[in-house]
Amino acid sequence: MNDGKTEDALRVTHHESRDKGDSSLVTRYSSLSYCVRCGACKELCPTYIEDSTEGMGARGRLMLLRGLAGGDIEPSKALDERIFSCMLCGACNSICPLGINITGAIYKYRRDLRAPNNKRTFISLWVKFALKRATTGFRILKFIEGVGEVFPVYRLKPFKILREIGIGSLDAPLRDSASIFKVSRPKGRIAVFAGCTANFLYPGIGRSLIRSLNAMSYEVILPKGEACCGAPLMGLGLEDAAVRLAEKNMKTFKKMKVEAVISLCPTCVHFIRNEYKGLVGDSIENAMEVSQFFSDKLSAIGNLKDSHSLPLSGSSLKVVYHDPCHSLYSLNVSAEPRQILRSMGLDLVEAERGCCGFGGTFRLLYQDLSESILKKRVEGYRKADMIVTSCPNCMVQLRSRVKDRQVKHIVELIEEAVQGDRDEKEI
> Positive or negative, the Cα torsion across 201, 290, 127, 247?
positive
Of all helices (H) and strands (E), which one includes residue 132? helix 118-132
Q: How far is the CB of 362 from ligand SF4 (least distance, A)?
A: 8
91 vs 384, beta carbon nearer ligand SF4: 91
42 vs 399, beta carbon nearer ligand SF4: 42
Q: How far is the CB of 238 from ligand SF4 (least distance, A)?
A: 18
Residue 48-67 contact track with ligand SF4, rule CB under 6 A, x = bound: ----------xx-xx-----
| Contacts of residue 116, Cβ cutoff 8 Å, sequence gap at least 6 | none
95 vs 178, beta carbon nearer ligand SF4: 95
| Contacts of residue 327, Cβ cutoff 8 Å, sequence gap at least 6 | 266, 289, 291, 333, 334, 337, 390, 391
57 vs 392, beta carbon nearer ligand SF4: 57
Residue 77-116 contact track with ligand SF4, rule CB under 6 A, x = bound: ---------xxxxxxx---x-x-x-xx-------------
Q: Strands 318-322 and 386-389, how do they pair?
A: parallel
Site size toward ligand SF4 (CB under 6 A) is 27
Q: Strands 179-181 and 218-222, how do they pair?
A: antiparallel
Of 37, 182, 383, 425, the one binding ligand SF4 by CB under 6 A: 37
104 vs 173, beta carbon nearer ligand SF4: 104
Let me know: does 391 contact 324? Beta carbons within 8 Å.
yes
SS3 per-residue string spanning 282-329: CCCCCEEEHHHHHHCCHHHCCCCCCCCCCCCCCCCCEEEEECCHHHHH
Contact between 231 and ligand SF4 per CB under 6 A: no
Q: How far is the CB of 54 from ligand SF4 (least distance, A)?
A: 11
110 vs 207, beta carbon nearer ligand SF4: 110
Q: Point out which residues bind ligand SF4 (CB under 6 A).
A: 35-41, 44-47, 58-59, 61-62, 86-92, 96, 98, 100, 102-103
